[in-house]
Amino acid sequence: MNSVFNKIYDEFHQDLYQFIFYMVKDKHLTEDLLQEVYIKVLNSHKNFKGDSSLKTWLFSIARHVTIDHFRAQERKRKRILEFFDWNEKGQNMKDNKPLPDEVAVQNEEVKQIYEHLDKCTPDQKSVLILRFIQSFSIRETADILKFSTSKVKTTQHRGLKMLRKYLEENKKRGGESNE
Amino acid sequence: MSDQDQNDQREIIDKLKGLPQIQDTRNKKEVFSQISSHPDLKRRKINRKKKWMPIVSATAAALFLILLLPVFFNTDTRQISEEDSMNEAYDMPMDETSENYSYEQEQESAGQEINRESAPAEQENSQMETVNESLVVHHVSQDQNIYFAGIPDLQAQYVIPIAFINSGERDLQGFYNNMDEYLGELNSDTGEYLFENVEFEIDHSSYEVAMALPNDFSLNGSAATANMFEKILSEMFRPYGTEKVTIHTDNGEPAEFDPFGDIDEMQLQEMTPSGYKLYELGNTKMLIQIPHNDQTSIEEAIQGMKEDEAELHVFKTVPEDIQFTIEQENNQLNFRFSEDTDFTEGRDSLDMIEAVLMTAKSYGYKQVKFENTEQQHIGPYNLTEPLPVPEAVNPIYLND
């Protein structure tokens, strides 16, 4: 097996898989997107000049591949909405992907956080996943996303605010239904 | 932030950290086998064969084998054949870097739109592709929309105007409120995005624009940054005829817009007379505006386009040896090359033509007639006819 592939697989495969999974929340899709990442990396690894760390480079490619997927999905969604003229109603449709086993066995709060991650923008989601699920530093996150460190902080703050808003709404709804 | 807010935030961070690890259950061999059979790797092998002459390939292969012979003798004999195919794929010329692939593809498609000529022989293909990478857009189809934007160069000296083009329903507000994501592709090669967390409200019929700044919005008190902010805002909305933008903060108060003080509206500037040079950094190559005051003639502006400003990654668009004279005929600019001036069809000539067209546009001309040229065509342009000035510059196509 090729040494470049070996190195990337051994050192980063599971982390890349987890990052993409939390972005798209679908294991089959994660496998497809991760395959795309490998193709791009293997086809262009000779261009990697070492200006950033290998880890940063790999995650920035993973992020590009994922965002491109979202853009393609968004265009598809718009075409469908235009066709059916669902507008607002259609935009609020819930995507009912089943919870993965790893999350399904967790407590309610973890499940809620997992679900509400989708309410964040792709940028906010990327920052929250990199910072708190993958444990990247602010500098590393900024390098991956090509953001300034202050933008990472602002995006992180706004993402956390968004999660907080939806968790509070959930809490209120829970309280009302108990009364 | 209050203590309560900080506690809440800490709690959410802990919950995020408590999300379970998700592992890929496939083994390494399985993953590798899927990748090695991917059509993209196979396609690259075919392309490579087309590009290289057989004799050169055979010679290179022989040399390669001679050089590597000692290595082979020491290599683990368990290596399998799929490995060879992977290695061959790695040796491909890297014409698509992974990080910027989508942006580059968009640029290529932009070039193809203005390409009305086809190269007769395969060996000319690469040259033609380069020649036809246009940096301007002359018109869009009825179902396409142009969204005007701009971003500072890395040193924040000049504005790089950008035209995002998509098809489908026009959504100005949606575009401008997500502009940072569209500009994200250029992030590492350009200056700071100045409209972070700014919300735009746009009336689609009157083009009235209101801008809500976050309460903590700041331009660091720098007059240069504030001027840049104003220029880019003009670049974004002046093309729609918008003359001013009203400003307030998230809490409804007028904005403390350092160093301008409290302001509740900003007048937009009309298109400034400008020369256009090339901004080249990383994978970004775009025309950049070099603004002039009203006293600078268009001739002086074009002469200025012969100078590099390498420290700013800004480069000339008009070769130093090009001599010309300028005449005005109503709204047409006659650009007459001197007798001894010669240029050939190529990337540089196309950049020069497009930079001059954009410069003429900024000076209010509608078309440019290039005279006294031996070349009748440069890229898609027929130089025997007056050329209309472009609709926009630096197009980025958002659709596939």
Residue B15 Cα distances to A17, A20, B366, B387, angstroms: 20, 19, 60, 61
Q: Do A64 and B99 touch (CB under 8 A)?
A: yes
Residue A81: predicted pLDDT: 65
User: How many CB pairs below 8 A link A and B?
Assistant: 145
* Residue B278 near residue B133 (C-beta atoms within 8 A): no
Per-residue confidence at B220, pLDDT binned at 50, 70, 90? Answer: low
User: Nearest by CB to B20, which of A9, A79, A103?
Assistant: A103
ipTM above 0.90, yes or no: no
Taking only residues 21 to 40 of chain A, the set having a beta carbon closer than 8 angstroms to any beta carbon of chain B reads 21-22, 30-31, 34-35, 38-40
CB contact set of B123 (below 8 Å; sequence gap of 6+): none
Residue A103: predicted pLDDT: 86
Most confident range (mean pLDDT) of B75-79, B102-106, B149-153, B371-375 is B149-153
Q: Do B99 and A31 touch (CB under 8 A)?
A: no
pLDDT in tens, B195-214: 888 889 998 888 889 998 88
Q: Do A43 and B40 touch (CB under 8 A)?
A: yes
Q: Do A35 and B94 touch (CB under 8 A)?
A: no
* A36 or B65, which is more confident: A36
Could you tell me which CATH number the domain at A1-96 has? 1.10.1740.10
pLDDT in tens, B86-137: 443 333 322 333 333 333 333 333 333 333 333 333 333 333 333 347 899 9
Residue with tokens 């999660």: A163
Residue B302: predicted pLDDT: 96
Angle of CA points B148, B152, B153, to nearest 5°: 125
Residue A139 Cα distances to A136, B300, B339, B374, angstroms: 8, 45, 57, 55
Residue B75: predicted pLDDT: 42
Residue B155: predicted pLDDT: 83
User: Which chain A residue is nearest to residue B97, measuring alpha carbons?
Assistant: A44
Residue A43 in contact with partner chain B when CB distance is under 8 A: yes
Residue B135: predicted pLDDT: 94
CATH architecture of A98-179: Orthogonal Bundle (1.10)
Residue A178: predicted pLDDT: 53
Residue B360: predicted pLDDT: 96
What 3-state class would DSSP assign to B160? strand
Least confident of A102-111, A156-165, B14-23, B388-397: A102-111
Per CB-CB distance under 8 Å, the chain A contacts of B44 are: 43
**Cα separation, B349 vs B354, whole angstroms:** 9
Residue B49 in contact with partner chain A when CB distance is under 8 A: no
Query: Please, how many CA atoms are within 13 Å of residue B391, restricted to the half-sphere of its CB?
Result: 15
What 3-state class would DSSP assign to A155? helix
Query: Please, how many CA atoms are within 13 Å of residue B52, restricted to the half-sphere of its CB?
Result: 17
Residue B119 in contact with partner chain A when CB distance is under 8 A: no
Share of chain B above pLDDT 90, in %: 31
Burial of B241 per CB tally in 10 Å (0-12, 13-18, 19+): exposed
Residue B39: predicted pLDDT: 67
For chain A, the domains span 1-96, 98-179
Residue with tokens 């701009």: B150
Per-residue confidence at A70, pLDDT binned at 50, 70, 90? Answer: confident
* Residue B278 near residue B315 (C-beta atoms within 8 A): yes
Residue with tokens 């496998």: A31
Residue B307: predicted pLDDT: 93
Residue with tokens 């935009």: A91
Residue B355: predicted pLDDT: 97
Angle of CA points B130, B134, B138, to nearest 5°: 155
pLDDT at B33 over 60: yes
Q: Which helix (H) or strand (E) holds B388?
A: strand B387-388
User: Which chain B residue is nearest to residue A79, measuring alpha carbons?
Assistant: B168
Q: Are both A1-96 and A98-179 of the same fold?
A: no
